């Protein structure tokens, strides 16, 4: 028996080394941790239950019968992260660049099946050169199996991908199918086709970071939700993100009290909105004033900055934050911000996280670039997401809420449960000046002197503003539930959340259907 145990210990030591000591040193020289080091940082000490440590590939072509390691370049298992059960998958770049073959993929699929059946989140640490070409179509089959499991897990358990090295070709679609993507500066990249293929195909010269580095995906494509300076920070972001999320779609999010009273007065909010209705201000002041101190975690902070999305807490309860940002493009809705808002609303609805919307939106971005790019189709995603959502929906109209954008941003007409407005709210079909130019067009055209015409337009604009660009007309129709002093916003939202905590919305009047057809 002792000889068998000694053999087991030896094999265990071999498995723990992955591709070997030299490969581990090479990984460290690139500023990267190994797969096992990442897992150790991520999970609670002593909780990792590894799966399939002694799996190995069964390929024999191209000398593969002599080239293998235990575990086949991926570490999978069950663990606890801050006391909560999680499935962890970490690709091991030290063997064949973490390339994906048949058995490598089979390990990943088995782990994902565990997550779905147990109702626990999936954290996938990607570090792979792509498909293992020596295994041919078996590698492609493996990717297909993983993508299928990503879709089966979607809306059932949270899925978080960290890109901590290469992620190219077919490998990019698993993170794309997951809920959140964290990328690491300098060491990670994602693209369908690499620089050499790009140069050969279209003559464009570009390096890996310019083509698909973290900065690119965080600011241009919107594919990266978070960017970390290094592996350790990426793992810290994952842990913090998980703290806002339930383990599955049947649970409520965790409640974490930080000692911030829900009825805390926020007097500084009374001074946030400028007297000039066209002057910008920073919506982060509103968000941070309302949420529990230090609880805001922004998602996609560097993409579509005219919209703000993220998570926070009010009286310890997890909430989804959606807001327009008047400090950037006046908070207008365009193609990218519409996609950003719709995606976040749908995730939060799937996982029972109440949606808090702060509105200051002058409308949709005009122009041929937006129209030809499909602003109608993309804007419709926001309408669909809010209408589909059945979680508690609370909306605060801070200032402008014009036209179709007013409807889209969590209005009562799309099923908001509680809508509050500040006294500075302007709710109308369009801005007062534009409305005045249409309503009093003939009167204005009759005045030939430009200065007199400008004075008359200002008079008509103020008349329209006093009649319609305020919260009281909408409140008189019941479209706004309460007009509140800004300093009371936190207190009002906390009470609304408490009252809505048992909300159950069953739409029995909707005919049975397989699924809706969201605009794409």
Structural tokens at position 399: 């200032």
Rounded-to-integer distance, Cα 37 and Cα 52, Å: 18
Candidates 105, 307, 385, 405; catalytic one: 405
- Please compute, for residue 373, the number of CA atoms within 13 A of its CA located in the half-sphere on the CB side: 14
- Closest by CA to 392, choosing from 357, 421, 358, 353, is 353
What DSSP state is assigned to residue 44? Answer: P
Q: What is residue 2's predicted lDDT score, i.e. its pLDDT? A: 85
Q: Are residues 113 and 65 in the same domain?
A: yes
Classify the phi-psi angles of 395: left when phi > 0, otherwise alpha if psi is within -120 to 50, otherwise beta: beta
The angle that helices 489-499 and 283-290 make with each other, rounded to 10 degrees, is 60
pLDDT of residue 491: 98
Distances (CA, A) of 16 to 26, 55, 65, 456: 16, 13, 21, 80
Spatial separation of the C-alpha atoms in residues 443 and 86, rounded to whole Å:
68
pLDDT at 63: 85
CA 470/CA 209 separation, integer angstroms: 48
Could you tell me if residue 256 is inside a domain? no
Number of independent structural domains in the chain? 3
**Is 176 among the catalytic positions?**
no
The answer to whether residue 169 is catalytic is yes
404 has which bridge partners? none
3-class SS at 125?
strand
Shared-domain flag, residues 345 and 216: no
415 is catalytic: no
Q: Is 146 inside a domain boundary?
A: yes
pLDDT, tens digit, for every residue of 436-491? 889 999 988 888 888 988 888 889 888 888 887 789 999 999 999 999 999 999 99
Looking at residue 462, its pLDDT comes to 87
Among 123, 190, 192, 191, which residue's Cα sits nearest to residue 162? 123
457 and 475 share a domain? Answer: no
Q: Is 404 a catalytic residue?
A: yes
- Rounded Cα distance, 488 and 195, in Å: 54
451: domain range?
432-468
State the SS3 of 278-329: CCCCCHHHHHHHHCCCCCCEEECCCCCCCEEEEEEEECCEEEEEEEECCCCH
Does 79 fall in a domain?
yes
Same domain, 167 and 297: no
497, 354 in Cβ contact below 8 A? yes
Q: Is residue 493 in a domain? A: yes
Above pLDDT 90, what percent of the chain? 83
Catalytic: which of 18, 165, 170, 213? 170
Catalytic residue, from 119, 136, 403, 404: name it.
404
How many Å apart are CA 391 and CA 354, to the nearest integer?
A: 5
Residues of the chain with pLDDT under 50: none
DSSP 217: I
Check: CB of residue 299 under 8 Å from CB of residue 310: yes
**Does 294 lie in the same domain as 225?**
no
Given a contact cutoff of 8 angstroms between Cβ atoms, the answer to whether 414 and 386 are in contact is: yes
Contacts of 329 (CB under 8 A, 6+ apart): 305, 306, 365
Indicate whether 508 belongs to any domain: no
Residues found in the chain: 520
Together in a domain, 296 and 234: no
- Print burial letters for 230-260: b (CB count within 10 Å at least 16), e (below 16): bbeebbebbeebbbbbbbbeeeebbeeeeeb
Residues 460, 318 within the same domain: no
DSSP letter for each residue of 435-501: HHHHHTHHHHHT---HHHHHHHHHHHHHHHHHHTSSHHHHHHTTSSSEE--GGGHHHHHHHHHHHTT
Position 199 scores a pLDDT of 92
In a domain, 258, yes or no: no
For residue range 231-268, list pLDDT tens digits in order: 999 999 999 999 999 999 999 999 999 999 999 999 99
185 CB neighbour count, 10 Å cutoff = 17
Residues 389, 438, single domain; the answer is no
From the list 71, 97, 169, 410, the catalytic residue is 169
312 found inside a domain: yes
- Give a yes or no: residue 505 inside a domain: no
Query: What 3-state class would DSSP assign to 272?
Result: coil
State whether 105 and 35 are in the same domain. yes
With tokens 């009374």, the residue in question is 270
Question: Do 476 and 457 belong to one domain?
Answer: no
Q: Looking at the structure, tell me whether residues 198 and 286 fall in a common domain.
A: no
Residues 222 and 299 in one domain: no
CATH number, domain of 213, equals: 3.90.226.10
Q: How many CB atoms lie within 10 A of CB 195?
A: 18
Is the distance from CB of 180 to CB of 142 less than 8 angstroms?
no
Going by their DSSP bridges, the two strands 307-314 and 297-299 should be labelled as: antiparallel
**Cα angle at 355 between 351 and 359, to 5 degrees?**
150
């Amino acid at each position: 028996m002792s000889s068998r145990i000694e053999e087991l210990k030896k094999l265990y030591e071999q498995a723990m080394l992955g591709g070997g000591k030299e490969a581990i040193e090479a990984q460290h020289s690139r500023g990267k941790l190994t797969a096992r080091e990442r897992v150790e940082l991520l999970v609670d000490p002593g909780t990792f239950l590894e799966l399939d440590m002694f799996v190995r590939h069964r390929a024999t072509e191209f000398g593969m019968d002599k080239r293998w390691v235990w575990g086949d370049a991926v570490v999978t298992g069950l663990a606890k992260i801050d006391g909560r059960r999680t499935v962890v998958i970490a690709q091991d770049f030290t063997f064949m660049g973490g390339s994906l073959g048949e058995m490598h993929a089979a390990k990943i699929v088995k782990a994902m099946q565990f997550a779905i059946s147990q109702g626990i989140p999936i954290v996938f640490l990607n570090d792979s050169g792509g498909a293992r070409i020596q295994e041919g179509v078996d590698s492609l089959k493996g990717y297909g199996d993983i993508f299928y499991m990503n879709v089966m897990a979607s809306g059932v358990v949270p899925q978080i991908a960290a890109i901590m090295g290469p992620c190219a070709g077919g490998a990019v679609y698993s993170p794309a199918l997951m809920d959140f993507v964290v990328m690491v500066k300098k060491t990670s990249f994602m693209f369908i086709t690499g620089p050499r293929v790009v140069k050969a195909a279209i003559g464009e010269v570009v390096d890996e970071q310019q083509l698909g580095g973290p900065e690119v995906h965080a600011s241009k494509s919107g594919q990266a939700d978070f960017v970390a300076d290094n592996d350790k920070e990426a793992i810290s972001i994952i842990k913090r993100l998980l703290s806002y999320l339930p383990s599955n779609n049947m649970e409520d999010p965790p409640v974490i009290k930080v000692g911030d009273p829900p009825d805390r007065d926020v007097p500084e909010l009374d001074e946030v909105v400028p007297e000039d209705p066209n002057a910008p201000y920073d919506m982060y002041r509103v968000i941070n004033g309302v949420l529990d101190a230090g609880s805001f975690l922004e998602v996609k902070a560097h993409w579509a900055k005219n919209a703000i999305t993220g998570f926070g807490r009010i009286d310890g309860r997890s909430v989804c934050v959606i807001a327009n940002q008047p400090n950037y493009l006046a908070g207008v809705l365009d193609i990218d911000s519409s996609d950003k808002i719709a995606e976040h609303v749908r995730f939060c609805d799937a996982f029972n996280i109440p949606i808090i919307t702060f509105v200051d939106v002058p409308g949709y971005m005009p122009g041929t670039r937006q129209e030809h790019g499909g602003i109608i189709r993309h804007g419709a995603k926001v309408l669909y997401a809010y209408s589909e959502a059945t979680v508690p929906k609370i909306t605060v109209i801070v200032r402008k809420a014009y036209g179709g954008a007013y409807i889209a941003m969590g209005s009562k007409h799309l099923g908001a449960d509680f809508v509050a407005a500040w006294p500075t709210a302007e709710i109308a079909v369009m801005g007062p000046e534009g409305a005045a130019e249409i309503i009093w067009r003939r009167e204005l055209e009759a005045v030939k002197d430009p200065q007199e015409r400008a004075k008359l337009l200002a008079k008509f604009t103020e008349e329209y503003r006093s009649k319609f660009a305020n919260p009281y007309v909408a409140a008189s129709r019941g479209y706004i539930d309460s007009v509140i002093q800004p300093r009371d916003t936190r207190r009002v939202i906390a009470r609304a959340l408490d009252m809505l905590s048992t909300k159950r919305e069953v739409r029995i009047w909707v005919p049975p259907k397989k699924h809706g057809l969201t605009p794409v």
